[in-house]
Amino acid sequence: MPPRLQVDCLTRRFDGAPVVDDVSFQVEPGQVACLLGPSGCGKSTTLRIIAGVDMQDSGRIFVDGQLICDTSFRIPPERRAIGLMFQDFALFPHLPVRENVAFGLPGGFKANRDRVGALLDRVQMTRHIDSYPHQLSGGEQQRVALARALAPRPRVLLMDEPFSGLDERLRDGIRDETLALLKDEGTAVLLVTHEPQEAMRMADQILLMRSGRIVQQGAPYNLYNAPVDRQAAGFFSDINVLTGRVQGALTDTPFGRFLTPGIPEGAEVDIVIRPQHLRIDFDRAGQGPAPTAENGTAALARVTRARYLGRDSLVEFATDAGAITLNATVPGVFLPPPGTPMWLMLRRDRVFVFPRG
Ligand SMILES: Nc1ncnc2c1ncn2[C@@H]1O[C@H](COP(=O)(O)OP(=O)(O)OP(=O)(O)O)[C@@H](O)[C@H]1O
């Protein structure tokens, strides 16, 4: 079986500069792939080319193995069986909900009562079937827009920041409901977002994009736990970075030595760890915990600031030796006063080592 959506070596240049640069990926039926990256990295342009409203300079797009677009052949957007749900998903203001949902279906609502009814039921909007868009809240409009996008049973659904207009408190619920419906429908979804949390929550597969290129793709777990470089690690959470130099395949730090396999002798490296993977221990008259294989060597540091963030506390430290600053998150309330000496360790299995780029 060919993939539902296959994108091969897509490139798009504006004024000679590549904005989408040799992008390739596949999405299977029922799978949600998230194109994730900072503003301006080329996500929306990629989506627009797949939708057929922009044209690539090179590369090919297939749906279920059928070529829908290369540089000489192009199926028009309305015949691609690709649904769209964009940021400014305007519903038609002069049509009631039922006609909005039925808009893409031959025969309108009258000929498609069952499909429209089932979708409105699924998005819990049945009681609003005769309402007009201006009578609905933002979240309700979003649900109708989703039903409308799915009504013609698109083989692929493209979503560009579909939740960004919604109230923060509404978002998680609507994301989860949307995900459940998309899975039931078996549509292949390509969702554009610049929010790592959204991608982690929604995606089966994340396509991490930077400056027009996909720098890493895989399951959320893999991107979080095995980032390809320092920037990729930093995209998903705050990070702490220690710097060092390779000597004999090892790099020395106040937290012990780290293996630096494959990095040339003498090269500078970044040793990266997320704040939740620091271990903290109290000072006992200048004595710290003994080194372990799991946590390496402890280094003495002093609290510079501690803040309570709701679920956990963020404690900022500066080491005595070398004046390295580090952030640690600790579950619950933990607010030691500034100046408190504490011993810090790095969970060895959570440390990433990258050549300095
Ligand atoms: N029609 C165009 N002409 C010239 N430059 C363009 C055009 N469309 C997009 N660009 C540029 O291409 C780059 C990528 O834009 P794109 O909208 O794809 O990024 P994005 O990752 O979706 O960003 P955002 O999250 O801010 O929407 C930007 O620098 C943008 O200014």
Predicted local distance difference test score (pLDDT) of residue 321? 64
- For residue 273, give both structure tokens: 């760890």
Q: Which of 15, 35, 44, 210 to mutate to test the pocket of ligand 1 (most atoms within 8 A of CB)?
A: 44
CA of 44 from ligand 1 middle (Å) equals 7
Look at residue 322 in the predicted model and tell me its pLDDT.
Answer: 59
**Is the CB–ligand 1 distance for residue 44 below 6 Å?**
yes
Domain shared by 61 and 104, yes or no: yes
Domain endpoint, select from 234, 251, 268: 234
Give 339-350 as a DSSP string.
T-EEEEEE-GGG
Q: Are 31 and 168 in the same domain? A: yes
Residue ranges making up the domain that contains 344: 237-355
CATH of the domain at 257: 2.40.50.140
Q: Are residues 174 and 105 in the same domain?
A: yes
Is 194 close to ligand 1, i.e. is its CB under 6 Å away? yes
The set of long-range contacts for 339-342, using a CB threshold of 8 Å and a minimum separation of 24, is 339/302, 339/303, 340/302, 340/303, 341/283, 341/300, 341/301, 341/302, 342/280, 342/281, 342/282, 342/283, 342/300, 342/301, 342/302, 342/303, 342/317
By alpha-carbon position, which residue is closest to atom 1 of ligand 1? 14
H or E element, residue 318: strand 312-319
252 shares its domain with 133: no
Atom of ligand 1 nearest to the CA of 46: 18
**For residues 354 and 109, what is the distance between their CA atoms, to the nearest angstrom?**
57
| Spacing, Cα 83 to ligand 1 middle (Å) | 21
Tally of domains in the chain: 2
Q: Name the residue at shortest CA distance from atom 7 of ligand 1.
A: 14
Measure 356 CA to ligand 1 centroid, in angstroms: 29
Q: Whose CA is nearest to atom 6 of ligand 1?
A: 14
Could you tell me if 223 and 272 lie in one domain? no
Cβ contact 129:96 at 8 Å:
yes
Do 53 and 118 reside in the same domain of the chain?
Answer: yes
Domain-terminating residue out of 185, 217, 234: 234
- At residue 196, what are phi and psi to the nearest 5 degrees? -60, -35
Q: Which residue's C-alpha comes closest to atom 16 of ligand 1? A: 42
Looking at the fold, whether 164 and 35 belong to one and the same domain comes out as yes
Are 201 and 256 in a shared domain?
no
Q: What is the ipTM of this complex?
A: 0.91
**With b meaning 16 or more CB within 10 Å and e meaning fewer, what string describes 260-276?**
beebeeeeebbbbbbbe
Pair 56, 133 in one domain: yes
Q: How far is the CA of 224 from the centre of ligand 1 (A)?
A: 26
d(CA 56, CA 48): 10
Residue 19 CB less than 6 A away from ligand 1: yes
Residues of the chain with pLDDT under 70: 87-89, 321-322
- What DSSP character marks residue 237? S
Q: Which among 183, 208, 234 is the end of a domain?
A: 234
Residue 196 and residue 251 in one domain: no
- Same domain flag for 82 and 206: yes
- CA 43 / ligand 1 centre spacing (Å): 8
On whether the CB atoms of residues 23 and 46 are closer than 8 A, the answer is: yes
Query: Which two tokens mark 344?
Result: 């810090």
Instruction: Give me the CATH number covering residue 48.
Output: 3.40.50.300
Shared domain check, 207 and 298? no
